[in-house]
Structures are given as structure tokens and as C-alpha cells.
A = this chain, B = another copy of it.
Amino acid sequence: METDSNLILKDTEQITGVSENLIAKFQRVRKITEELCKPLRIEDYVVQPVVDVSPPKWHLAHTTWFFEELVLTKFKNEYRVFDKNYGYLFNSYYESVGERVLRPHRGFLTRPTVKEIYAFRKYVDDHMLEFLSGKKLDNAIRMLIELGLNHEQQHQELLITDLKYILGHNPLFPVYLEKNRSHKQDANNEFTYLEIGKGIYDIGHRGADFCYDNELGRHKVYLHAFKAMDRLVTNGEYLGFMQDGGYHDFRWWFLEAWDWVNQLETKAPMYWHNIEGKWHNYTLSGLRVVDPDEPVTHVSMFEAEAFAQWKGKRLLTEFEWEALANKYTGAATDAGFVDNRVFHPEARSGSSNQLLGETWEWTNSAYLPYPFYSKAEGAVGEYNGKFMINQMVLRGGSCATSKDHIRLTYRNFFHPHLRWQFTGIRLAENL
């Protein structure tokens, strides 16, 4: 795992999230967003170097807009919006809510200033706290606020990956956070296989806790027996693929991936630079020599799949992954894995099998609705369903994911060529 980003959320490590009430959670989540921005200069908040990367400023405002637009204006008496233009400026893609700035143009908006956006956050936070402290909220509103907080946690992760992109594509390679030591998976990089037998497995969210609509509709799948590595593929192993000419051998690549590869200026994971014959990678603590023992990250699904082809193995499906996680991190979901995840990677116990909180793991499952999936009405219904095409599912959560935002049933998804997220590889094979 990218060690420099392990520290990101350390201030919140004492929070367990279990018995926390909604006010406390609201305050905690909102605060973390701002803390993540502390190392930034004003200039870093503004730009959008590629369409997938939003300006940090935009994340700050958009997550706030969610509470203003979907909670306060709808449910708080006599609420007056902070600025009537913000609805237009900071809507992301919710067609039901009205017009919006087109996504590729987010990086042209120098105003409102960062200061004004922090004032917007404060204004909305104050009203939200007033609202939360008022008469008892009904369940639908509580769920909406939970959604807003989970939405903000998603954007916290994007904030980290986006600012990494912004800083990591600057020729000066600025440091976001200094970090001394690197996390290694294991000194010797040995691994064993985790096994799952054939049979019917239950998939999807269970219980009353928050989850996204795309995890709902618990249902059965039949799995054939398989085994999977108990750790992620390392930089060292990936370098083996590169040194064997992996980026130059069409046999390992999808046809679309082969076009993609041929347009890559640097035939390596994102943020890798070959400096005088030695591979370096940009991390949130700056440019450094690639550590062969760390999990490879910032690879596209194309690269993950090509690596697997080269190894004669395969990626997991998302259902296999979930069955695996259910079996091998079962205990962890209650207490175990949470505490020794992103905040203390150095203290991670061997039992975690590293299925959670290392990197997002590309699966070979397309992002499709579960059998009992149904879309909510209105803006909330746009949250997930409209993306269920041409994207691949990732599982597990990364070092940039908030610890209480990780779930065994969580379905992340990106287009297969993208790699600015902390994405990695786990190999499997049939038994």
C-alpha cells in the first residue's frame, strides 16, 4: 500500500462508528473533509487536469450542496440558501435537480473562492446541526442524511485521489504529507491460497445499517470452487511482467486495451517514472524509488487483466470476492479489521488476509444490477443505477477509503481504463 496516504485519516482513528449518534457522525465526517485539505495551497483547490478529476474546491462545495439541496431546502423550515447560484454550480449529475455546470468545466470556476466555499460549508453545517438538534427526525430523513455522509466519504476518497493526480502531474512533484517509513506486505512476499468450495452463496447487504441501493436485494449465486492469493500482487511481481515485455505483447491484452496500451507514453502504472533506468513512483509523500514489496497500485483493469493473463491465472468475480471476504474476514467485520486498517497498517494482524483497506481490487465482474435491484424515485435514484454500463466492479476499499465506509458488500465501479484510484490486483484460479 502507498504508505504516504496511510496517515491521511489518522486523526479519526479513535472513532469506532458503532454507537455514534447522527450529530456526532455528521460533525466527524464533515471535519475530516476539511482536514484532508489542510496541506493544500489555495492554488491546488482550483484545477481539473482531466475530466475524471474534480477540483478539491468542488468536492468541498458539492458535498455541502447535497445537504443544502436534498435536506435543508426540503425539510428545514424557512431555510434560505446560502447563494442561489450554488445549486447550478455544484450539482454533479443529478438531472432531476436542475441544470448544472458541465463536468469538464468544473476547473474553470475560480469563483466562488475557497474562502467563500468554507463559509458555505459553515453556513450549511450550522443549519444542519440546528436541524439535527431539533425535533426528532423521521427515518427517511435520517437515511437521507446517512446517504449524504456516505456520499461525503466517497468524495473524501476522490478528494485524495484527485489531489494526488493534481500534485502528481506537476513536474515539481510536491509533497502532500511527509511520511518516513513504508508499509510492506511481508518481508518475503510469500503467500498462501484462500479457498472456497463450490455451492450456493448469499450475496448482498444484510442488516439495518446503511448501505447503497446497489448492495441491496440479498440473493443467491452458485460458485464453482476456486482459490485466491491471500495478499495483493506486489510491485516486484508487476515489474516481472514489465521486464518480460508485458506491455509489448498483444496476447495479454483485450483488443480495446491494446489500443490503450499503445497510446500510453509510459508503459507502467500511473505515477511511475523511469529515471535513469530506475523506476520511481510518485506518492503523496513525493517521488521515490518503487518498493518491490508493496502492493502494486494505480493500475487499470486492463493492466490487472493483462497481468493475470501473463501469469496464467485470472481475476476474481465480485461474487467470489464477497464469498472470500465473508469467509476470511468474518470476525473482522465486527471489530478486528477496522482498527488495524488504514490507520495502523504496520500493526495489521495476519488474520486480516488483507482483503479490506489495502487497494481497490479489480474484479472481472461488470457493474450490473443485482436481481432484486430497484431504483429509488427522484435524485437519490440517480445515485447508482445510471452508471450500470461499461464499468467494472472493484471490491475491498483502499488506503484512501474511510474505515467506516468499508463494507464487505460494497460495490465500487470504474471504467476499465481508469487508474487514478488506488487500484490493485489479486489473482485467483479454479480448484
A residues neighboring B (CB under 8 Å): 41-47, 49, 57, 85, 88-89, 93, 95-96, 101, 105, 107-114, 166-167, 169-172, 174, 200, 219-222, 224, 250-251, 253-258, 301-302, 305, 314, 364-366, 368-369, 371-372, 381, 386-390, 416, 430
Give the Cβ gap from A29 to chain B, nearest Cβ, in Å: 26
Contact partners of A254 in chain B: CB under 8 A = 386-389
Copies of this chain: 4
> By DSSP majority rule, is chain A's interface helix, strand, loop, or mixed?
mixed
Partner of A166, one of B43, B108, B302: B108
Q: 16 A-B Cβ contacts within 8 A? A: A41-B110, A41-B113, A42-B42, A42-B43, A43-B110, A85-B172, A108-B169, A110-B170, A111-B167, A111-B174, A220-B222, A255-B386, A305-B389, A364-B369, A365-B368, A371-B430
The 10 closest A-B pairs by CB, nearest first: A366-B366, A43-B110, A49-B108, A222-B222, A42-B42, A95-B250, A44-B110, A255-B386, A254-B389, A220-B222
- CB closest residue in chain B, given A166: B110
- CB closest residue in chain B, given A117: B43
Give the Cβ gap from A159 to chain B, nearest Cβ, in Å: 14
Centre residue among A110, A305, A369 by max chain B CB count within 10 A:
A110
Give the Cβ gap from A360 to chain B, nearest Cβ, in Å: 18
Contact partners of A314 in chain B: CB under 8 A = 369
**Could you tell me the distance between the alpha carbons of A174 and B251 in the complex, rounded to whole angstroms?**
35
